[in-house]
C-alpha cells in the first residue's frame, strides 16, 4: 500500500491500534479542507500494531487531548516535505474541555458555558479532579 508523504502538516505516529478513528473524530479532522489519511493496524516493531494519521495541511491540534488519550503518540511536524520537529506527549497537568465532570451538583453541570477544567492528581493511575467541585475523574475503559 502506498500513502503519499506530507508536504506541510502533521503526522500522528504510534497511535494505539484501533484508536485512530476516535482521534480523527475528537480533533474534528473531518472538518478540514485538506488531505487526511488514517492508516490502521500498521506493523510496529515497538507495539506490534499501530494507527497513523497524516494531515497534509497546516492545522492546530489539541496536544493536551492527544496526551490524555495516549501518551505514546508522537507528533511529527512536517515542513517542505521534511521533519521539522518531533513532539513526545505526556499526560497534561491540566485539561480544559477534554473530559466532563460527572458530579450532578457541580457548577459545570448547572451553569451553561463554564469550561470543564481538571487538574492531574495521580499520574500513575491517570486520575484528574474537577477544579470547581474536586470530584475525581477516572476514565472507564
What DSSP state is assigned to residue 69? H
Residue 1, pLDDT score:
45
**What are the structural domains, with CATH classification, of the chain?**
9-88 (3.30.70.140), 94-138 (2.30.30.20)
21 three-state secondary structure? helix
pTM score of the predicted model:
0.81
User: Do residues 50 and 25 make contact, with C-beta atoms less than 8 angstroms apart?
Assistant: no
* Predicted local distance difference test score (pLDDT) of residue 2: 52
Pull the grid cell for residue 140: 472507564
- What does the pLDDT read at residue 141? 55
- Closest by alpha carbon to 3, among 33, 39, 48, 29? 39
Run means of pLDDT, 10 residues per run, the chain, 141 residues: 75 93 90 90 88 91 90 93 93 93 93 94 94 90 55
Nearest CA among 27, 7, 101, 119 for reference residue 70? 27
Res 46: pLDDT: 82
Amino acid at each position: 500500500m502506498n500513502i503519499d508523504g506530507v508536504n506541510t502538516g502533521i503526522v500522528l505516529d504510534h497511535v494505539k491500534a484501533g484508536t485512530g478513528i476516535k482521534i480523527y473524530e475528537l480533533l474534528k479532522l473531518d472538518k478540514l479542507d485538506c488531505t487526511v489519511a488514517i492508516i490502521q493496524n500498521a506493523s510496529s516493531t515497538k507495539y506490534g500494531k499501530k494507527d497513523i494519521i497524516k494531515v497534509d495541511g497546516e492545522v492546530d491540534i489539541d496536544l493536551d487531548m492527544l496526551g490524555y488519550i495516549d501518551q505514546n503518540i508522537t507528533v511529527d511536524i512536517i515542513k517542505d516535505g521534511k521533519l521539522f520537529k518531533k513532539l513526545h506527549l505526556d499526560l497534561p497537568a491540566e485539561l480544559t474541555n477534554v473530559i466532563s465532570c460527572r458530579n450532578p451538583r457541580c457548577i459545570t453541570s448547572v451553569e451553561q458555558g463554564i469550561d470543564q477544567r481538571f487538574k492531574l492528581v495521580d499520574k500513575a493511575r491517570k486520575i484528574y479532579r474537577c477544579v470547581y467541585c474536586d470530584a475525581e475523574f477516572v476514565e472507564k475503559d
